[in-house]
Amino acid sequence: MPAAQTPPPSPSAPRRWELGAELRLTAHAWQVLTEGRRWSEVIEARAKGGALPSRSRAAVQDYLYLLARHRLSLEKLASFLNQRQPAPSVGTLQLAALALLTRLEADDPYCATIVDQAVRAAKGAQDDTVLAAASGFINATLRRFLRERADLMNRLQQMAQHDPCLRWNFPQWWIDQIRTDYPQQWQEVLEAMNQPAHLTLRVNPRQTGRAEFVQSVAAAYADAGLKFITPDNTLAVMLDRSLDVTHLPGYEQGHFSVQDLAAQHAAPLLAPAPGASILDACAAPGGKTAHLLELADVQVTAIDQDERRLERLGVNLSRLQLDTLPEAGGQIIAGDAANLEAWWDGVPFDHVLLDAPCSASGIVRRHPDVRWLRKRSDLATLAEQQSRLLDALWPVLKPGGTLLYITCSVFRAEGAAVIDQFLARTPEAKPLPMRTGCLEFSAERALLPSADHDGFYFCLLQRQPVQE
């Protein structure tokens, strides 16, 4: 029986930081997000050179997810405790500790550890005298929270009944948009957007079978009591908890990729025949490129304008043992897909996959920070980019060929609205019915997020054959 492949810790690296240090990094990363930047820049910088142990990295990620999913409730709770707005580094450390405390039962002994560690992190902040001076404030307010917890939580709940932002923890514009787009289901959609997602994998049929893969993972984690979900007519394997996938059996050999269930329907919707030529126009980091290559012997031209993400595409294809694009007549190109003059040789494609840049509103379960980084005005800019790509790429499709337009957004402005306008100005484009295995798709509306999958918009268009 193979053992779980956990790499041994290096002798010099701590297995995990103290909780206080994790809280401090969480607070710093959260502060960066509140300034409108991605928290990953802070985490990546700290992880460089192995300075951040992987277990602490996972813990910090967890705490940040909590903060992102409960931001407005936590800020309201903090406002009950604070006489006036604390300095940013003090407020974010307090918020990070509150996020952890609200997750535990009131009498959990770990609550005292969290308070002690937050106080210790503040006291020890040699690079931040304001924070160091605020350790008494952190101590007093967190202890008050523990004493008055039931009342404070009650007060919060009462307020949330009349305030959708507090109830759902989304900005007002996001709630308004979902309510406009889905007047019957807006509350269910927001609820689903707040649920943590399964870890979903896609088995690579060129390397292993799904049953065989599940068996190998179950054996490697025999004591963990993992639950597997394997939806019919797919190669998906969903796990009930998140694991470091690089430790799963078969990772190095390319037996699987990480990909949400909804995204796993893109390649089957195109249903390419062996030998078909496919343009994957916004390809990096290659989740769907790899899936196409796993399904059939096809010629894929993969383009992306982001060279760093394109590097990851190369690494992913290589791990999956699919890096035979050039021999199979395919290629990888860095550049703007809409600039045909720069890359197209004039030979039309059987299929085009346009997985367009979007707001990512459909994958907010997996990226809860998206709601705080996006602005309402982004939607019009993104719709313009999406339409530009559609118009530019339509001519590279063969008459009779199909183009699959996808976004991982559920906002109508980036899905059905873009397609309606495209159809109005492109008479030779006809939407085709879309069906695969266990999910149904409609070009009229997005596939909404659920417990099993993210939200996506799909539209399969055919270029009408030339009339004789």
Q: Report, as residue numbers or ranges, the catalytic residues.
A: 408
β-strands 277-280, 349-355: how paired? Answer: parallel
Helices 186-193 and 172-181, axial angle in degrees (round to 10): 130
Compute the distance between CA of residue 330 and CA of residue 316 in angstroms, rounded to an integer. Answer: 16
Closer residue to ligand SAM (CB): 287 or 330: 287
- Exactly one of 148, 188, 306, 378 binds ligand SAM (CB under 6 A); that residue is 306
**Site for ligand SAM (CB under 6 A): which residue of 81, 125, 337, 393?**
337
The DSSP code for 397 is: E
Residue type, 423: L
When asked if residue 55 is in the footprint of ligand SAM (CB under 6 A), the reply is no
Sheet containing strand 299-304, strands side by side: 331-334, 299-304, 277-280, 349-355, 397-407, 457-463, 429-431
Q: Does 414 bind ligand SAM (CB under 6 A)?
A: no
Q: Nearer Cβ to ligand SAM, position 114 or 292?
A: 292
* Whether 263 contacts 288, CB under 8 Å: yes
Can residue 287 be called a binding residue for ligand SAM (CB under 6 A)? Answer: yes
Q: Determine if 21 is a binding residue for ligand SAM (CB under 6 A).
A: no
Strand order of the sheet with strand 228-229?
A: 228-229, 236-239, 199-203, 256-258
How many residues bind ligand SAM, per CB under 6 A? 19
- Contact at 8 Å (CB) between 246 and 256? no
If binding is defined by CB under 6 A, does position 305 make contact with ligand SAM?
Answer: yes
314 scored as a contact of ligand SAM (CB under 6 A):
no
- Among 338, 340, 373, 423, interactor with ligand SAM by CB under 6 A: 338
Q: With CB under 6 A as the contact rule, which of the stretches 102-110, 239-247, 302-310, 394-402 interacts with ligand SAM?
A: 302-310
Q: Does 28 engage in binding with ligand SAM (CB under 6 A)? A: no
CB 43 within 8 A of CB 29: yes
Nearer to ligand SAM, 355 or 369 (CB): 355
Q: How far is the CB of 414 from ligand SAM (least distance, A)?
A: 11
Shortest Å, Cβ 110 to ligand SAM = 39
Query: Is 283 an interacting residue with respect to ligand SAM (CB under 6 A)?
Result: yes
Spatial neighbors of 22 by CB under 8 A, at least 6 apart, are 56, 59, 60, 63
**Is position 354 an interface residue for ligand SAM (rule: CB under 6 A)?**
no
Maximum Cα interatomic distance, the chain, rounded to a whole number of Å = 83
Q: Binding string to ligand SAM for residues 388 to 407, with x set by CB under 6 A, is what?
A: -x------------------
Encoded tokens for 273: 């025949």
Q: Where are the beta strands (DSSP E) in 165-220?
A: 199-203
Contacts of 136 (CB under 8 A, 6+ apart): none
Stretch that binds ligand SAM, among 29-37, 59-67, 182-190, 330-338 (CB under 6 A): 330-338
**Closest residue by beta carbon to ligand SAM:** 282
Least Å from the CB of residue 341 to ligand SAM: 14
Task: Give me the residues paired with residue 299 across strands.
Answer: 277
Q: How many CB atoms lie within 10 A of CB 350?
A: 19
Q: Supply the minimum distance, in Å, between the C-beta of residue 293 and ligand SAM.
A: 12
> Among 19, 29, 282, 448, which residue sits at the site for ligand SAM (rule: CB under 6 A)?
282
E strands, 204-344, are 228-229, 236-239, 256-258, 277-280, 299-304, 331-334
Residue 286 interacts with ligand SAM (CB under 6 A)? yes
Residues that bind ligand SAM (CB under 6 A): 282-288, 303-306, 309, 336-338, 355, 357, 389, 408
